[in-house]
Amino acid sequence: MVSKGPLLRLLTAINRRRMKLLVGLACIAYVASVWGNFVNMRSLQENGDQKVESKIEEAVAPLREKIKDLEKSFTQKYPPVKFLSEKDRKRILITGGAGKRNVEHWIGHENFELINHDVVEPLYIEVDQIYHLASPASPPNYMYNPIKTLKTNTIGTLNMLGLAKRVGARLLLASTSEVYGDPEVHPQNEDYWGHVNPIGPRACYDEGKRVAETMCYAYMKQEGVEVRVARIFNTFGPRMHMNDGRVVSNFILQALQGEPLTVYGPGTQTRAFQYVSDLVNGLVALMNSNVSSPVNLGNPEEHTILEFAQLIKKLVGSGSEIQFLSEAQDDPQKRKPDIRKAKLLLGWEPVVPLEEGLNKAIHYFRKELEYQANNQYIPKPKPARMKKGRTRHN
C-alpha cells in the first residue's frame, strides 16, 4: 500500500514530466517552422537580398514568446490558503452559494471539487461539515418558480440533514431575516416569532426557510444531528449576479447605465446592508461555535431605501433620476437586526463600512459592464414576475 506522501510526490513528478513533454512538443513544432524559414533565408542570402542573421532573429523571436506562454499556462495560481495538518483538515460541503464563474479560480486545485448536483435529489458523499446555502434568494427569482423554491428549502434541506445524520456531519442552515416577515418588533431579535403571510407571493421563500429551521431542530432533537442556524440579513458585494433584481444590484446597475433608479413604494422602508466578507466570517464563526440556537448575522446600520438610492447615485457619480413605482405586496417596512447574541457568543460584528463595500461592488459592476459591452450584452434590472397560472378543470 502506497502512503499518501510518496503518492503525492509521484503524481507531482508525473505532472511535471507531462508539462515538459508538452513544452518539448511545442518547441519541436516551432523548430520545424523555423527551419523552413531558415531554408528560405539561405536562398535570400545567396541572392544577396538580406542578411541571414536578422532573419533568423526575426523567426526565432516568436518561438521564445511561445515557450514563455506555454510555461505560464502550466503554472496555475490559486489564492493563498492557510496550511492545516492532517488532524485539523475537514472535508466541507457547500450547497449553492456560487455560480461557476465565482469559483472558477479554484478549479484544478487539489483541495477543491465542483459538484453539479440538485439538492432536491439525495447526495451520497463523506463530509465533516455542511454549509447549506442552496436556495433562490432574490424576490424575482423565488417568485418566478415558487414550487422549486419550496422544494429546495424543504426536500433539499431534508436531504442535507439526512446526509449529516448518515456521516455524522455538522450542518449550518443559511436561513434569512425573511422568517420575521413584515415585523411588528423592531429591531428583530432571535426570540421574535415573526409576522409572515403564509399565502402571499413571498411565502414560498419565507415559509420555506421557516420550515427548514423546523426540520433542523427536529433532526437535532430526534436524531442528534449538530445544527447551526444563521438568519442572514441583506448582504451585498462583488460577484453578485447583476440581473438578480435585488435592491443593491438594481440601483448600481441603473446608476451606471444612466437609467432611473426604481424605488417601490415611498422609499421609507428600511434595510440593513452588510458586506459579503463580514457575512462569511460570521458563518464560519457560527459553524465552529457551540451555539445551536438561531443567530442573526447582519449590519445594524439602518437606512431607508430612498437614502440608499441617493447614496449609490453619489458614489457612482450618476445623474439618474429616482422613479417611484407601486409598492410590492408584503414588502417588509422595517428591517434591522439585533446582533447582541452574535457579539456575545461569537465575538462577531460587521467591520466593513457601508461606503467602502459599495465602492468595491460598484467597481466590480463597472468592470462587468465593460466586459459585457464587448460581448454586445447589456443586462437590465429584473422586475418581479410570476408564472401564469394554469387553468384547472374540476
Rounded to whole angstroms, the Cα distance separating 49 from 285 reads 74
Q: Which of 243, 235, 233 is nearest to 365 (CA)?
A: 243
β-partners of residue 174 are 230
CA-to-CA dists, residue 350 to 67, 228, 334, 339, angstroms: 47, 19, 20, 10
Task: Map grid coordinates 513528478 to a residue.
Answer: 13
Annotate 283-347 with DSSP letters as a single string: HHHHHTSS--S-EEES---EEEHHHHHHHHHHHHT----EEEEPPPTT--S---B--HHHHHHH-
What residue type is assigned to position 378 of the chain? I
Exactly one of 142, 180, 205, 219 is catalytic; which is it? 205
Mention every residue, 6+ apart, whose C-beta is less than 8 A from residue 384. 139, 140, 143, 201, 245, 328
What backbone phi and psi angles, to 5 degrees, belong to 324? Answer: -100, 125
CA distance 231 to 132: 12
Q: Is 180 marked active-site?
A: no
Phi, psi of 131, rounded to the nearest 5 degrees: -95, 105
Picking from 46, 53, 40, 280, the residue whose alpha carbon sits closest to that of residue 172 is: 280
In sequence order, what are the residues at sequence separation of 6 or more whose Cβ sits closer than 8 angstroms to the Cβ of residue 381?
243, 245, 249, 250, 253, 254, 259, 262
Distance CA 300, CA 274 (A): 9
User: Annotated catalytic sites, by residue?
Assistant: 205
